[in-house]
């Protein structure tokens, strides 16, 4: 799964988030809008691309944002537990941002899941691909 963990993929996702939200996620601001957009970036990279915590932090640092692995954990948890419920517009963007993932990458992710989770993944993929 290392083939898509490149800085180009990170940049593409970041650009899409910035374009769709109108918020520069690398700007050193602490507004709720900035936090929500940054937490979505961390969530997508960690949960959907399985990027290591330190690699996510290094990407933010390379863009001029002060970050470390503990902030990545905090952002992922906050997005999952709070932001996704408060900002349904961001939650609805995730399938669209994931459309650029190649089928091979998605298949690799599914193959690493425990067998009892296949049905849930199938249902999820059915939902996000019905509009394609």
pTM as predicted: 0.73
Assess whether 82 and 132 both reside in one domain. Answer: no
How many domains does the chain fold into? 2
pLDDT (mean) for 27-36: 94
Assess whether 70 and 127 both reside in one domain. Answer: no
The pLDDT, as a whole number, for residue 1 is: 34
The pLDDT, as a whole number, for residue 4 is: 47
Domain of 11 in residue numbering reads as: 2-101
Assess whether 67 and 42 both reside in one domain. Answer: yes
pLDDT value at 66 more than 50: yes
What's the rounded Cα separation, in Å, for the pair 97 and 126? Answer: 16
Assess whether 46 and 70 both reside in one domain. Answer: yes
Q: Give yes or no for a contact between 101 and 4, defined as CB atoms under 8 angstroms apart.
A: yes
Assess whether 97 and 73 both reside in one domain. Answer: yes
């Amino acid at each position: 799964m290392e083939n898509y963990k490149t800085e180009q993929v990170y940049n593409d996702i970041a650009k899409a988030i910035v374009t769709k939200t109108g918020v520069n996620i690398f700007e050193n601001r602490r507004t709720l809008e900035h936090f929500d957009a940054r937490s979505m970036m961390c969530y997508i990279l960690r949960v959907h691309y399985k990027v290591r915590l330190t690699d996510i932090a290094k990407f933010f640092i390379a863009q001029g944002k002060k970050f470390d692995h503990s902030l990545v954990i905090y952002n992922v948890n906050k997005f999952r537990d709070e932001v996704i419920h408060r900002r349904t517009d961001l939650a609805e963007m995730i399938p669209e941002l994931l459309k650029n993932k190649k089928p091979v990458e998605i298949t690799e992710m599914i193959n690493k899941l425990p067998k009892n989770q296949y049905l849930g993944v199938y249902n999820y993929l059915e939902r996000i691909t019905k509009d394609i």
